[in-house]
Amino acid sequence: MPAALTLRALTAQQDQLAPGHGLCAGCSESIIVRQVLAALGRPAVVALATGCLEVATTRYPWTAWQVPTVHNAFENAATTISGVEAAYRALARRGKVSGEPPVFVVFAGDGATYDIGLQWLSGALERGHRFLYVCLNNEGYMNTGAQRSSATIQGTWTTTTPVGTVVPGKPQWRKDVTAIVAAHHIPYVAQAAPHHWKDLMAKVQKAAAKQGPAFINVLAPCNRGWRFEPEETIRLSRLAADTCVWPLFEVDEGAWKLSYRPAQKRPIVDWLKAQGRFSHLLDPQRQDLALEVQSRVDQEWQQLLSRCGSG
């Protein structure tokens, strides 16, 4: 049975990700993982793509995981979990295992999802394996030094798109992987964020109940790469939703539905000025780029409202 989404019930559960890991203070990834695993209400088997979460929670000879986990290369977590799920089904057909199956879960960063592992993920989705893929989207390759990924938005300072007199940060807009995954016509796709824990956990429960692949793209604020104080993580998550730079929605059996609409949409400058990686965009000489970012966010928001029938 799915876990009850009340604070009393959730705090009574044993954490499936133990404390004592090596993630940075203020890192959102441990918050997200604990929310995901707590929401499931039944055992999980986890595949971890190489990244911050994997290296910080599985330092030999210790592990922070209280569930079975398998470490994968950057690119092949979706393929690995497909094999695990197929093996379980084969054992079930032969009567070797019985009862409700575990939830097969992938945790992977945006580098492993948007870039290096996209074709592997696409193949697993097309084949129809039953698993939940959670993208921990911190908008860059944070584990290896805060380099840009295709999830990084235009104008962002990263170590591979440094700000100078010629190039004002990353020149390209981000890739819309959530829509790309939705185009595979899988049972469930969603975007979520850790500040809205009940929304995220309800989406996890919907995803785990589907008889096929599911994908949740979760914004994962990174204080080291984004340049904000560790205690600001949840505020940054909420600000992303309120500026609509990270909308919360779901695509359930092909139906697009908005999960959150701010009462008053905040300007993108509120998001930019909260992070050191955008400090150059506050320069009056770069006002045009800040306005372009606002324009792109507004355009994507209107497109989403149209898809959800909420225009």
CA-nearest of 252, 72, 231, 220 to 139 is 220
Domain containing residue 21: CATH number = 3.40.50.970
Q: Is residue 48 one of the residues assigned to a domain?
A: yes
Query: What residues make up the domain containing 135?
Result: 7-307
Dump pLDDT digits (tens) for 232-271.
999 999 999 999 999 999 999 999 999 999 999 999 999 9
Domain tally, the chain: 1
Query: Is residue 43 included in any domain, yes or no?
Result: yes
**Interior CA angle at 307 toward 303 and 309, to 5°?**
115
pLDDT (mean) for 120-131:
98
Contact 233, 151 (CB under 8 A): no
Residue 2 in any domain: the answer is no
Say yes or no to pLDDT of 101 above 60.
yes
37 found inside a domain = yes
For residue 32, the SS3 value is helix
* Average pLDDT score over the chain: 95
Residue spans of beta strands (DSSP E) within 28-139: 44-48, 69-71, 103-109, 132-137
> Does any domain span residue 104?
yes
Report the residue count for the chain. Answer: 311
Q: What is the pLDDT of residue 297?
A: 98
The reported pTM is 0.96
Question: In this structure, are residues 201 and 132 in contact, taking their beta carbons and an 8 Å threshold?
Answer: no
Instruction: Quote the pLDDT of residue 9.
Output: 78
In a domain, 1, yes or no: no
Q: Return the pLDDT at 1.
A: 56
pLDDT interval class at 189 (50, 70, 90): very high
- Say if 115 falls within a structural domain: yes
- 62 in a domain, yes or no? yes
